[in-house]
Structure 1
Amino acid sequence: MTKEEVGDGRDDMDVDRDEIEVRQGIVELGFDTNYLKLYYGKLFPHAEMFKWMSYGNDGKHPACDQSYIGRREFSFTLENDIYVRFQSFNSAVELENSIKEKCPFKIDIGPVYNVDPAKRHAYAQAGDNVFTPVERELIFDIDITDYDDVRYCCSGADVCLECWPLMTIAIKVIDTSLRDDFGFNHILWVYSGRRGVHCWVCDGRARRLTNEQRAAITDYFCVYKGNDNSHKKVSLTATALHPFLERSSKVLTPFFEEKLLHSQNLFASEERFEKVLELIPDESVAAQLRGEWQVKPRSSTSGEDLNVVRWKRLKTKMKAPGLRRCCEEIVFSYAYPRLDLEVTKHMNHLLKAPFCVHPKTGRVCVPIDPDRCEEFDPTTVPTLSTLLEELNREGLRDDTENEWDRTSLGKSISFFTSSFLQPLLKSCKEEMESSYNAKVQQSKNSLSW
């Protein structure tokens, strides 16, 4: 991490959230510390987050690992960029009280270590100085800025409904493979709050993967390669595509042809179609297409979009021997998911917690349903300001158990709980019970001898 670790915390903020009056119409767009205290006090799902991180080890079952949650690292980024790492909590109350007290601008979740991370120095002084992560969700980080060379509507951290579908396609491709190719079931996709998505694979098998195994999975997904100095970033040289690539192509190609061509006007100017022509290995074919397209385009008698006409022409030329894979390589170069591979490879990476509020946008990092991800609109995600306006507008109601049910955040927390957390915890309990029964049976068998 680039920011230095600090002590156990900072001075308490002197704003009492119960004394803050939020009046309808005065909440401004953006990020406000006082409003954040209200958010943590009334809307943040502390208990649900703790249940998730405990993975069933917060009960009284004899197979529970009572030290498990206390070995998980939580990191807070406080106001003025103060960074507090290696925090741990042994109960939901401890976690909630710390969040409310420190009011972090961002909460990051790290791995489960072999010892309590908050006491790692004491272990080192005792002579046991091996402080290492032993468990961590398999995580993926996909950022829209990594697509800046193929999107023309936005750049940098900006995102709109024309380029956001690149994230949708990434979710579809990666989620399907994680389930069908690797057999994972408990997968949480989360909007980063600004310009990308995060993926948490939470099956027991996934959490216990070694760094080497994680690297092998990243290699499996590593199709888009190369660097800024290489034109060709994707090579599909095999005679027959791997089943994963074949399946991905069936998702990427329609998206490229029906959405990306139009939304990004990929062939509308010489600067843009040159990027495509650079991906054609046969220079004579590229030169012929370049010569045709440099002529001022005439209006199409069929009324077809110029981008579609030129793409069809390119596909016709790609039927020549040795160029059969070129169209697929172009599609993959523009539309295939671009992963931050280092985040996935190593167990000790931190990742922003769901339901944080992004300080640049004020948007909440809400879960995304992979089965309906094409419906997700980042511009309508609940913001800190709108949530507090909703709380104020709704007032106190007796028909709601949780305050978030009075706001637009309620649906996101309900999805997180019913579609992700409950099935996950059920699986954890079953795995725990199975492991415990196996040990009991093994003990009985050894005694019978």
Structure 2
Amino acid sequence: MPHSTASEPMFSEVPIDGDSILPDAPVQVPDPAKEDGKMDTTGGASQTEDSIGEATRADVKLEDLFNDVSDDEVDEFSDPGVSNINNESSPPGAPLQIAPSAKYTDPEVMLAFYQRLFPFRYLFQWLNHSMKPSNDFGHREFAFTLQNDAYLRYQSFATGDLLRKDILRLNPSRFEIGPVYTANPRDRKTLRKSTAFRPMAKELVFDIDLTDYDEIRTCCDKANICHKCWSFVTMAIKVVDAALREDFGFQHIMWVYSGRRGAHAWISDKRARNMDDQKRKALAGYLEVIKGGAQSGKKVNVKRPLHPHLARSLDILKEHFHSDILVNQDPWAKPVKAERLLQLLPDKELNDSLRKKWDAAPGRSSVSKWADIDALAKTGASKTLDGRALLEAKQDIVLEYTYPRLDVEVSKKQIHLLKSPFVIHPGTGRVCVPIDTRRLTKFDPLGVPTVTELLGEIDAFDEQAMEEGDVKKIQDYEKTSLRPYMEYFRTHVTGLLREEKGVKREREEEDAMEF
């Protein structure tokens, strides 16, 4: 993002002269308002279809899946949890059987995507936190949205290969990931006590949705986005990521594009996964600054001196304020919006002078109006002006127009379901890819490949390989523009597994010393 081009500092002090029984989830049609993957699991009816496919599930005992091979003797990405995934030996010219006019919503397109491109292996390792199958994966809830919009909850799988087989059988339009439970979700009805089935771990998640910015973005609204308003997501990721790393010490944070208008953060550190709902709520509250609905008054009410998190956030955000807010959004171009700005300033006399100046110059830009505040203050337009109060008001305005607007309800409960990375967004056909925060400002949501584009790229690659007689075997994702996203995901999973292995060994050494 470009830096501010203002000639003066952003903030300068102006002189004074101047659930009993747990209910099953109902079969439901997904709510369009939650199409970015946020599922409310707080309620539910007694009707369910989570038994569909139960009879066809392989009867696998978890303990039979473990073997005596040590982690060091297992190839890093060749694990017992997933076999022959991602079509590793796909030869050039293998037909996809997809019609040229096929759309991303067609079942055959989705099936081809799951067969050829979806990273089941890495997903298994990411959620399992080990190469060998464990309860971290086996007791994990998955929820499928089928092609007929039936919604299946409490699906679980001992291995990633079983997950893959069921997805290829059911061919869901998408699926969500839920918590790890104290028992296998499929066995919950056989438990004598309902309290024996409860969530015990889940990644800490955060959600950013551009619809929450509709009152301040001027370029788009609702589900529509463009490069201008995507900058709000960029700013939010910078601020939240910095706080999670610097203030809480989390390391394994992955941001994922929702496929249309937002981004999700998945924090996989063991300490984060084990947080109870109370701690999640407290952490979400720590990051929540913008409060109040669209019609409410002042939305930023923070104490002085500013908390270090807010001071750091202002340093991050002020470089975006001029270019991304004042220039690209021009939020106060219309008189009614300019009046909103005046409501946020602390001095009535200064406001009257600003209003008079702007009424005399219709069409004055937000860049100019922002500069007018200091200019008029310095002329002594108000004899009662408190320079420190004005400085703080301007800081609050910058925060109101740039600080992350989080859907904090997504973060507060372990039981919450969130759309899996790498599924296809039902409205756009785009893949929900991870965002490389090292190149955050280069991420283009509108340039993320669609499922039909990816399948076309495989066809084109294979056709050229056949013409050139190049018959080397490579994974299908390597033939497409999905490759950098897959490699980033693999790197993220590798780091997580390395740390989990170290923690396990440290715990084993401590146990050995006790004897």
TM-score where L is the length of structure 1: 0.89
One of 206, 228, 241 as aligned partner of 2:306: 241
Which residue in the other structure is 1:21 paired with?
Answer: 97
Question: Secondary structure of 1:90's match?
Answer: coil
Q: Determine if the alignment matches structure 1 residue 296 to structure 2 residue 361.
A: yes
TM-score where L is the length of structure 2: 0.78
Q: Aligned-pair distance for 1:154?
A: 0.5
Question: Secondary structure of 1:225's match?
Answer: coil
How do 1:130-149 residues align onto structure 2 when only pairs under 5 Å count?
A: 130-149=196-215
Q: Determine if the alignment matches structure 1 residue 186 to structure 2 residue 245.
A: no
Q: Aligned-pair distance for 1:129?
A: 4.2
Q: Aligned-pair distance for 1:435?
A: 1.1
Report if aligned partners of 2:211, 2:223 keep a CA contact under 8 Å in 1: yes
| Segment drifting more, 268-277 vs 90-99 | 268-277
Aligned CA distance change for structure 1 residues 128 and 251 (closer, same or farther; 3 Å): closer
One of 146, 157, 162 as aligned partner of 1:89: 157
Q: Distance in 2 between matches of 1:427 and 1:228?
A: 43
Q: Determine if the alignment matches structure 1 residue 426 to structure 2 residue 426.
A: no
CA RMSD of aligned residues (A): 2.1
Question: Secondary structure of 1:75's match?
Answer: strand
Q: Distance in 2 between matches of 1:281 and 1:91?
A: 60
Report if aligned partners of 2:145, 2:151 keep a CA contact under 8 Å in 1: yes
| Segment drifting more, 154-163 vs 266-275 | 266-275
One of 392, 396, 412 as aligned partner of 1:329: 396
**1:7 aligned partner, one-letter code:** D
Which residue in the other structure is 1:358 paired with?
Answer: 425
What are the Cα deviations for residues 312-332 of structure 1, in whole angstroms up to 9, with x where unaligned? 112445683122211111111
Report if aligned partners of 2:252, 2:269 keep a CA contact under 8 Å in 1: yes
One of 287, 305, 312 as aligned partner of 2:371: 312
Which residue in the other structure is 1:260 paired with?
Answer: 325
What are the Cα deviations for residues 251-281 of structure 1, in whole angstroms up to 9, with x where unaligned? 1112011222111112322132222222223
Report if aligned partners of 1:318, 1:326 keep a CA contact under 8 Å in 2: no
Q: Distance in 2 between matches of 1:177 and 1:48?
A: 27
Report if aligned partners of 1:111, 1:134 keep a CA contact under 8 Å in 2: yes
Aligned CA distance change for structure 1 residues 277 and 205 (closer, same or farther; 3 Å): same
Aligned CA distance change for structure 1 residues 324 and 269 (closer, same or farther; 3 Å): same
Q: Determine if the alignment matches structure 1 residue 216 to structure 2 residue 282.
A: yes
Aligned CA distance change for structure 1 residues 250 and 41 (closer, same or farther; 3 Å): same
Q: Distance in 2 between matches of 1:386 and 1:251?
A: 36
Q: Determine if the alignment matches structure 1 residue 122 to structure 2 residue 190.
A: yes
Report if aligned partners of 1:236, 1:325 keep a CA contact under 8 Å in 2: no
One of 130, 133, 158 as aligned partner of 1:56: 130
Q: Distance in 1 between matches of 2:279 and 2:495?
A: 25
Identity of aligned residues (%): 37
Report if aligned partners of 1:57, 1:68 keep a CA contact under 8 Å in 2: no
Q: Determine if the alignment matches structure 1 residue 401 to structure 2 residue 481.
A: no
Q: Determine if the alignment matches structure 1 residue 414 to structure 2 residue 482.
A: no
Aligned CA distance change for structure 1 residues 326 and 388 (closer, same or farther; 3 Å): same
Q: Distance in 2 between matches of 1:378 and 1:68?
A: 32
Report if aligned partners of 2:120, 2:164 keep a CA contact under 8 Å in 1: yes
Question: Secondary structure of 2:175's match?
Answer: strand
Aligned CA distance change for structure 1 residues 120 and 245 (closer, same or farther; 3 Å): same
Question: Secondary structure of 1:108's match?
Answer: strand
Aligned CA distance change for structure 1 residues 308 and 6 (closer, same or farther; 3 Å): same
Q: Determine if the alignment matches structure 1 residue 42 to structure 2 residue 107.
A: no
**1:403 aligned partner, one-letter code:** D
Q: Distance in 2 between matches of 1:277 and 1:216?
A: 33
Report if aligned partners of 2:207, 2:407 keep a CA contact under 8 Å in 1: yes
Question: Secondary structure of 2:499's match?
Answer: helix
Q: Determine if the alignment matches structure 1 residue 150 to structure 2 residue 226.
A: no
Q: Distance in 2 between matches of 1:198 and 1:116?
A: 26
| Segment drifting more, 226-235 vs 139-148 | 226-235
Q: Distance in 1 between matches of 2:155 and 2:216?
A: 40
What are the Cα deviations for residues 218-248 of structure 1, in whole angstroms up to 9, with x where unaligned? 111011112233221001331x211111110
Q: Aligned-pair distance for 1:32?
A: 2.0
Aligned residues: 420
Q: Distance in 2 between matches of 1:275 and 1:229?
A: 11
Report if aligned partners of 2:179, 2:414 keep a CA contact under 8 Å in 1: yes
**1:324 aligned partner, one-letter code:** L
Aligned CA distance change for structure 1 residues 398 and 435 (closer, same or farther; 3 Å): farther
Q: Aligned-pair distance for 1:284?
A: 3.1
User: Structure 1, unaligned stretches of length 5 or more?
Assistant: 13-17, 60-65, 299-304, 445-449
Aligned CA distance change for structure 1 residues 398 and 241 (closer, same or farther; 3 Å): farther
**1:58 aligned partner, one-letter code:** K
Q: Aligned-pair distance for 1:29?
A: 5.4
Aligned CA distance change for structure 1 residues 27 and 423 (closer, same or farther; 3 Å): farther
Q: Determine if the alignment matches structure 1 residue 283 to structure 2 residue 348.
A: yes
Q: Aligned-pair distance for 1:131?
A: 1.6
Q: Distance in 2 between matches of 1:315 and 1:37?
A: 60
Q: Distance in 1 between matches of 2:349 and 2:178?
A: 52
Q: Determine if the alignment matches structure 1 residue 440 to structure 2 residue 512.
A: yes
Which residue in the other structure is 1:109 paired with?
Answer: 177
What are the Cα deviations for residues 399-447 of structure 1, in whole angstroms up to 9, with x where unaligned? 45311100111111011102x11000000110111112211222x1xxx
**1:432 aligned partner, one-letter code:** K
What are the Cα deviations for residues 381-405 of structure 1, in whole angstroms up to 9, with x where unaligned? 0101101110111116644531110
Q: Distance in 2 between matches of 1:222 and 1:316?
A: 32
Aligned CA distance change for structure 1 residues 209 and 350 (closer, same or farther; 3 Å): same
Which residue in the other structure is 1:251 paired with?
Answer: 316
Q: Distance in 2 between matches of 1:433 and 1:52?
A: 19
